[in-house]
Amino acid sequence: MAKKKVLFFYPRFVEEYKALLEKEIPEADFMICTSREDMEKYAPEAEIALVGMTFPQDLFKRMPKLEWVQALAAGVESYIQNAEQFRHIPVCRIAGAFGKYMAEYVLAYVLYFCQHIPRVLKAQREKKWDPFRMEFIHQKTLGVMGLGHIGKVVAQKARDAGMRVVSWDMARAEAPFVERQFGSQERSGFLKEADFVVLTLPATPATKNMVGRDFFKAMKKTAYLINICRGAIVDEGALVEALTSGQIAGAVIDAMKEEPLPRESPLWDCPNLIVTSHISGPSLPEDMVEIFKENFRRFLRKEPLVGRIDFSRGF
């Protein structure tokens, strides 16, 4: 049987990806792309596309032989926005790989705030002896918005660390480590209980700018927001207002509406805000290749693919 031609593009770790893909999946012929010129060259022959989120959507129209797209990301808004061209082509997102990393990211910042690390560092810079009473995570409630795979892993790790965990979602989920699940009409009740609100929702029309002025008003003034999902969910102007006015205690955002974040963005200098460069859920080559390997096996056997996008639901 002829090898399937796979167009590969990811902006980082190219040599590592190439070595792993060729070693782990010898049944495929990988066409490694590092530029648009490469993509345009190989597009007409591609039967499978294994690509990162920065792959130009217009190039899919130049792939007459395309049978399947495996996106190297959990969020797939660009595919949802171009759903018409994928009517007869399965598109899969990465499912199940990022939760463990994102849970560590969340817990790192929960501890950062509870242990008052900024105060400790400031005292050291000023050579000031400053004994104070720390806060402890076993006395805190973590509120998870979105109980998909990532949300469940975050909730489980927080519970294992001793936190009380509550959740909010459109539908109930099997999650014994969550003390209380709030439904779609119970958001204010959810926010009143959470000391840390963690966003793990998909970006859909229903969630766009969901986190805005009314949302921040419903949060505790002592609470923190941690966004590890999509920038579209947060009204960034309202976030700046909430932090500047002291409406909430602080925030950590790993996803923004525009990435890379422009130097002139007010987010950089906003008080009590930590900005990270979309690093909470890294696409590590060993994880991505393992997932693609399993889906490639399923594809050849005509079995259901893991992580297939449901365009009607928007994720």
Sheet bearing 180-182, strands edge to edge: 180-182, 164-168, 141-145, 196-199, 224-227, 250-253, 273-275
- The pLDDT tens digits for 132-146 are 999 999 999 999 999
Burial pattern 43-62, b for ≥16 Cβ within 10 A else e, equals beebbbbbbebebeeebbee
Q: Please give the pLDDT value at position 268.
A: 99
Q: Please give the pLDDT value at position 252.
A: 99
- Is 147 a residue whose pLDDT tops 80? yes
Which amino acid appears at position 60 of this protein?
F
- Is 184 a residue whose pLDDT tops 80? yes
Which of 47, 164, 193, 278 is an active site residue? 278
Q: Please give the pLDDT value at position 224.
A: 99
Q: Which tokens sit at 127?
A: 């050579």
Residue 315's pLDDT band, with cuts at 50, 70 and 90, is confident
Q: Please give the pLDDT value at position 27.
A: 96
186 is catalytic: no
- Is 8 a residue whose pLDDT tops 80? yes
Mean pLDDT of 15-39: 98
Q: Please give the pLDDT value at position 172.
A: 86
Q: Which phi and psi (to 5°) does residue 293 adopt?
A: -60, -45
Q: Please give the pLDDT value at position 13.
A: 94
Share above pLDDT 70 across residues of the chain, in percent, rounded to a whole number? 100
Residue 226's pLDDT band, with cuts at 50, 70 and 90, is very high
What DSSP assignment string belongs to 79-105? HHHTGGGGTTS-EE---SSSHHHHHHH
88 is catalytic: no
- Is 1 a residue whose pLDDT tops 80? no
Q: How many CA atoms lie within 13 A of 65 on its CB side?
A: 12
CB neighbour list of residue 90: distance below 8 Å, 6 or more residues apart: 68, 69, 305, 308, 309
Mean pLDDT of the chain: 97
Q: Rounded distance, CA 151 to CA 103, Å?
A: 9
Which of 258, 259, 286, 303 is an active site residue? 259
Residue 182's pLDDT band, with cuts at 50, 70 and 90, is very high
- Provide Rg for the chain, Cα atoms: 21
- Is 171 a residue whose pLDDT tops 90? no
Q: CA-based angle 160:162:167, to the nearest 5? A: 80
Mean pLDDT of 205-223: 97
Q: Please give the pLDDT value at position 220.
A: 99
Paired residues of 32 in beta bridges: 8
- Is 75 a residue whose pLDDT tops 90? no
149 is catalytic: no
Q: Please give the pLDDT value at position 308.
A: 97
- Is 9 a residue whose pLDDT tops 80? yes
C-alpha of 265 from chain center? 21
C-alpha distance from residue 70 to each of 39, 56, 217, 291, 311 (Å) = 16, 14, 40, 10, 15
Q: Please give the pLDDT value at position 305.
A: 98
Report all structural domains of the chain as residue ranges with CATH numbers, in order of start.
4-97+283-300 (3.40.50.720), 99-275 (3.40.50.720)
Say if CB 144 and CB 133 are below 8 A apart: no
For the entire predicted model, the pTM comes to: 0.93
Which of 47, 164, 193, 230 is an active site residue? 230
Say if CB 66 and CB 22 are below 8 A apart: no
Residue 19's pLDDT band, with cuts at 50, 70 and 90, is very high
